[in-house]
Amino acid sequence: MFKVIKTITGECPVCEDIKKLSYGTRVETLKINNQNIHVKTKAYRCEDGQHYFYNPADEENKFQEAYRKYRELNGLLQPEEIKDIRGKYGLSQRALARLLGWGEITIQRYETGALQDNAHNIPLLFINDTNNFEKLYEARKPFLGKKDILTINKHLDKIKQLTLFSSFNKVRPRDMEYGRLARIHRLQSIGDYQYRKPIRTREGELAIAS
């Protein structure tokens, strides 16, 4: 199904000639890692040849949208979620790569929309939990610069202050019910909670170029 937005006369790259063209939207199925992903894309249709072609920005958007859907279906972090995890600890792209023992360009590629490897997704989920991050940080400190270490320490202090404050507020009503021991236990269990998906701070959808 092709839904026409506008009709123009222009050059068709397939026919290599001036043709009557329609610009509009269609649903396409892309195969990503053997999985069918349906995306709505913008395209040109050559009315004579009955074929489609894209401008580069629309084609890029098509893939970005397909990757977003694929990540959503497969429990992979979105680029902005990776950025959020990195930002939480005050890491530069380079520092995060060093911490994880990856190539320096990897994080940058993921944050700008390249589809991540599942083997790379797991360590990122793992360090979203501050306790896990701290364990890895201790082990990988020798690979980080002095400036990075200072920045990370500052961020970790802030996270701990915030966690303690929110735990305290959450715990108070229970404290009345179960006494001080229950409260301490509750504080400890909050301290080693399991993985939680990061909150998305930006709009999830990509803006589609007009």
What are the residues binding Zn ion (CB under 5 A)?
A: 12, 14-15, 46, 49
CB-count exposure of residue 133 (10 Å: 0-12, 13-18, 19+): buried
Sheet of 17-32, strand order? 2-12, 17-32, 35-46, 51-53
- Closer to Zn ion by Cβ: residue 37 or 46: 46
CB of 9 to Zn ion, least distance (A): 12
Minimum distance of Zn ion from residue 20's CB (angstroms): 9
- In the block, which residue shows the tokens 């009503």? 173
Q: Which two tokens stand for residue 95?
A: 């520092």
Of 20 and 200, which CB lies nearer to Zn ion in the complex structure?
20
Q: Which residues contact 101 (CB under 8 A, 6 or more apart)?
A: 140, 143
Q: Name the residue nearer to Zn ion (CB basis): 48 or 104.
A: 48
Burial 49-82 (b: 16+ CB within 10 A, else e): eeebbeeeebeebbbbbbbbbbbeeeebbbbbbb
- H/E element, 30: strand 17-32
Closer to Zn ion by CB, 14 or 114: give it.
14
- Min dist. Cβ of residue 61 to Zn ion (A): 22
Closest-CA residue to 69 (of 96, 94, 32, 98): 32
Question: Whose Cβ is closer to Zn ion: residue 14's or residue 208's?
Answer: 14
In the complex, least distance from residue 52 CB atom to Zn ion, rounded to whole angstroms: 9
51 versus 186: smaller Cβ distance to Zn ion: 51
Min dist CB 1 to Zn ion, Å, is 20
Nearest approach, Cβ of 60 to Zn ion (angstroms)? Answer: 22
